[in-house]
Amino acid sequence: ALEMLRRRWMELGDKIFELSETRSELVQSEKMASLGRMVAGFAHEINTPVGVAVGAVSQNEEGLRRIDALLTTDEVDEAQLRSELDGLREGGALALSNLQRAARLVQSFKRTSTDQTSEEPRVLVVRELFTDVLFTLHNVLKRLPIQTHVECEPNLKIHGPAGLLEQVITNLVLNAVQHAFDNGARS
């Protein structure tokens, strides 16, 4: 009877170990799936400002060709030249602002993707944490009549596991959307 109890105890230990390994694999799998969703959302979000910047630069190329054509004539119409230069300035400003937006998206993505795969505690800027979570949820929130706004001291910092804190904030936002706003039906 003692030998049978010892064998059962060993089998139970093996099963507990196996369950623990399976749980770890599931957690890792969910992290990778979450990272995949985040990458897909990031690719979608970055395409817009990059596309606008490419379009603006393309328009500037056209403007430069028109200016070249103006300069080959005997008399250059100053008003037309100034109009073309204004168009170049507007296109440059549009390209610059969209490329800056794309750069901010990349920075946010870098922070978030690193945080998703690590549970190591570190110093976190709370405002960035909330902004990054809202960035990852943008595709869900943009279809709803809900606006988000982060009010937080710019330099407020905490020490903790970024990935877990992001998950808590994500769950709170999604629960608010589902329950407080009836999945976006109430604003």
The model's pLDDT over 33-64, given as tens digits with 9 standing for 90+, comes to 766 766 777 777 788 889 999 999 999 999 99
- The predicted structure's pLDDT at residue 181: 72
Between these two residues, 169 and 31, which has the higher pLDDT value? 169
- The predicted structure's pLDDT at residue 112: 67
Asked if the model's pLDDT at residue 159 lies above 70, the reply is: yes
In the chain, what is the greatest distance between 2 CA atoms, to the nearest angstrom? 111
> pLDDT tens across 62-97, in order?
999 999 999 999 898 999 999 999 999 999 999 999
State the CB neighbour count (10 A cutoff) for residue 166. Answer: 21
What is the rounded average pLDDT of the residues 146-154? 88
Q: What is the CA radius of gyration of the chain?
A: 27
The residue among 154, 147, 161, 148 whose CA lies nearest residue 126 is 154
**Least confident interval from 26-30, 45-49, 142-146, 173-177:** 26-30
Place of tokens 């610059």: 96
- The predicted structure's pLDDT at residue 124: 87
- The predicted structure's pLDDT at residue 59: 94
**Cα–Cα distance for residue pair 140/154, rounded to 1 Å:** 26
The residue among 107, 115, 108 whose CA lies nearest residue 31 is 115
